A and B are shown apart, each in its own frame.
Chain A
Amino acid sequence: MNVIQVEKLSKTFGHVTALDGVDLKVQAGEVYGYIGPNGAGKTTTIRVLLGILKASAGSAKVLGQDAWTDAVDIHRRIAYVPGEVNLWPDLTGGEVIDLFLKLRGSDNRNRREELLQRFDLDPRKKCGTYSKGNRQKVALVAAFASDADLYILDEPSSGLDPLLEKVFQDCVREVKEEGKSVFLSSHILSEVERLCDKVSIIRQGKIIETGTLSELRHLTRISVGVQTRVPIVGLHDVSGVHDIQKEGDWVSIQVDTERLPDVMKHLSQFEILRLESGPPTLEDLFLRHYRSTGGAS
């Protein structure tokens, strides 16, 4: 069963089209990454999934139920962490965590204490005095202390220091091992690469790529630098080669991953002296897509 099934989802705010025919399928047990530039529509998608925004068109199903009409039922089985956590300034962190746990109906004291320790959070302070990262921790503890089937996380690690980011990633891996699903929107690509099985890229309200990490890597380019005895010629005519730059006898190029064998064959004709290559990263793909946004919407 798909834990999230979104079909042709559109959402407009007055004249602004935030989502324009989005399709998503998250399978049980998957950690699903959702990435895209600022204002692309990630938060809007998540809020439709939570049933706090009503879809303008299309359908959104979570755990097999309709996101808007069956919101309460669905919410018994999911946990959510927003990108910006706002809490009641007059309650303490501990009170807020308990409130959230009670509202969900699960009350696992041990798990709560363990997470408080791991995230290094003092639950006796009033939320009004917490820093941004500390408020984020409150939401994370409340989310991971609850026994959910699906975790929806909207840029959950923004504001966490590297140490806590690692704690967060461990938590995600643990719930994955328990067979739970995670839907994770993020700007931190290394985090997505490390955690996610599958990724969708959204831009201006439309999904532009979807696939497993290795499928997407296939779409990325490898940067290759090469020094040869004989000056290289004819590179322009080899398909899959981009961004040719020459500095003396050092040539650096970008190569489409799937064209690499052909390109190497071509290069080897010129007697290679030195060769360097960078690993294919999501970042390249990301930047390529982001740049072609052509400015603001």
Chain B
Amino acid sequence: MLRDRGHQTSRLLRLILRRDRVRIAIWLVGITLLTVVVASAYTELASTEQERQVMAETMRNPAMTAMLGPGYGLDDYTIGAMMGHQMLLFTALAVAIMCIFLVARHTRGDEEYGRIEMLRSLPVGRLSNLSATGLVLLGSCLLIMLMVGISLSALGIESLDWSGSLLYGAALAATGLFFGAVTALFAQLAETTRGTVGWSVALLLLAYLIRAIGDVGNEVIAWLSPLGWIVRSQVYVNNYWNPVFLTALAASMVFAFALYLHSIRDLEAGFIPARPGRRSASRFLQTPLGLAVRLQRTALIAWAVGLFVLGASYGSVLGDLEVYLETMDLIQLMLPAVEGFSLTEQFLPMLFSVISIVSTIPVLLMLLKLNAEENLNRTELLLARSVSRNRLMSSYFGIALVVSMVVQLLAVLGMWSAGVAVMEDPMAFETIFNAGIVYLPAIWVMMGIAVLLIGFVPRWAGGIWLYLGYSFLVVYIGELLQIPQWMANLSPFGHIPKIPIEDFSWPIFLVLTLLAVGFVVAGFMGYGRRDIQG
């Protein structure tokens, strides 16, 4: 009977591969390419010893530690040390997100859409689908390990040796396994795919935050987060394998627990029980606007809290940053003080470029929900009543607009309040406010493009995530690698003035905002005219 539980796993595995071979291949190749491109860029950027040492000094900065993990090998900062310190964590985040989507799609996703029911009525074991998904996860992660590991060592860069490259790949793989396993667990707990992905991504962000706080403040706290383990493998310098083994072990334990929960629960049920709802709609729910808010309520609250915490955790670094900058002569030389601004203030734009991109996520989620509802044939329920398409779309758009301002403001508030608490000479609220709010037009452009896509090519609306990913790469890696300006300019975020070092610019504000308005208007027109799928 035990054997029966995994009956036909291999056939289900083939089914998953049949459906996802292209998707998985794109992810794997994308991640490998990104890694290889960055590694070769480093060799050009920091070809001399001096250049590398200058970079090493900037890495001692607590803000960098918060973003990237603790620096290591800084006394002899090789290309390998640079890769391990500056790229490993963020590549691991990308792998984690890939694994979260992969697992959620084939577990709760298929189950929620009623596809597993048909499979389970056939001689297929109770655990077969989850096991098959786990095997695909394992296979994908092993492939990442090999592809990244082999291509990094094949670059022939002196410090990128074979064993370090393999560990680099293994660290990525272990992170992917862990968060894939976590997703498998949440797929047992939550009843919906959205819930599964939402909880898993929330845990990923939490792991990142805990690691940031721990890396800057207290080592013990950092050990609470698997991402904290990964960055302690000190790839290419000391090559500690144990953190990677630990992560893989934790992943298998989490996955085993998911298997256990799966074996004892009803199909299509979750362990986080759905509460009984209200008998009749509140007055609030009786409009499309109210419905849109109601559907996203929990997610919106979670994101609002999350951005406040993200702002606060970056803000809490400001105190250390202040102390650090006072003691460092070298960096003072590198970053000649801009008249009238403290050095801490000069780090604000970098922090906010990352925060703003995270703020864009809930905004886009809100807009794309309209698309998701259409795919589930639920917009026709509204449109068949006396609700116009304009009214429907403007409900979602209006909320997204409010969300964009609220979350950005909350991040500002978080950073300011944490900053006040830890800094001897706190920054003016106005400075932080301006540095954060100046990013709004870039967020609006992203919204505009999303509306445009929903209006004309709804099938490709998800492509906005690729664009957001690209924007993240250019603002984040651009900061480290000094990529060509035209690449940064392809993203609206690349145009935003670096307040307070640079001045606010009306032309940029107006151009971006008008662009956003134009996209939105066109998108509304397209939505009014095209076929609605359901």
Binding site for B on A (CB under 8 A): 13-15, 47, 50-54, 69-73, 75-76, 78-80, 82, 84-88, 90-91, 95, 99-100, 102-105, 139, 152
Contact = CB atoms under 8 A, between A and B. Distances in A.
Interface stretch (B57-65, B67-75, B114-122, B136-144): B114-122
A13 B269 CA distance: 9
A72 B267 contact: no
Contacts of B484: none
B126 A71 contact: yes
Contact of B125 (A52, A72, A76, A95): A72
Given A54-B266, A103-B124, A105-B123, A72 B118 contact: no
Given A52-B117, A82-B114, A91-B19, A104 B123 contact: yes
Nearest to A89: B113
Nearest to A46: B121
Interface residues of B, number: 30
B266 A52 contact: yes
A267 to B, nearest CB: 50
Given A13-B269, A54-B266, 17 more contacts: A14-B276, A15-B276, A52-B117, A52-B267, A54-B265, A72-B125, A72-B126, A75-B124, A76-B123, A78-B121, A84-B114, A88-B19, A88-B110, A88-B115, A105-B123, A139-B118, A152-B121
Contacts of B219: none
Interface stretch (B7-15, B222-230, B345-353, B428-436): B7-15
Interface of B: 1, 4-5, 7-8, 11, 15, 18-19, 110, 113-115, 117-126, 264-267, 269, 273, 276
B18 A75 contact: no
Contacts of A71: 4, 120, 126
Nearest to A49: B121
A181 to B, nearest CB: 16
Contacts of B1: 69-70
Contacts of A72: 4-5, 7, 123-126
Contacts of A50: 120-121
A99 B126 CA distance: 17
B123 A53 contact: no
Which one of B117, B122, B273 has the greatest number of beta carbons of chain A within 10 Å? B122
30 contacts: A13-B269, A15-B276, A47-B117, A51-B120, A52-B120, A52-B121, A52-B266, A54-B265, A69-B1, A71-B120, A71-B126, A72-B5, A75-B120, A75-B122, A76-B123, A79-B121, A80-B118, A82-B117, A82-B118, A82-B121, A88-B115, A99-B15, A100-B118, A103-B8, A103-B11, A103-B119, A103-B122, A103-B124, A104-B122, A152-B121
Contacts of B114: 82, 84-86
A155 to B, nearest CB: 14
Nearest to A16: B276
Given A52-B267, A103-B8, A75 B115 contact: no
Contacts of B121: 50, 52, 75, 78-80, 82, 152
B172 to A, nearest CB: 27
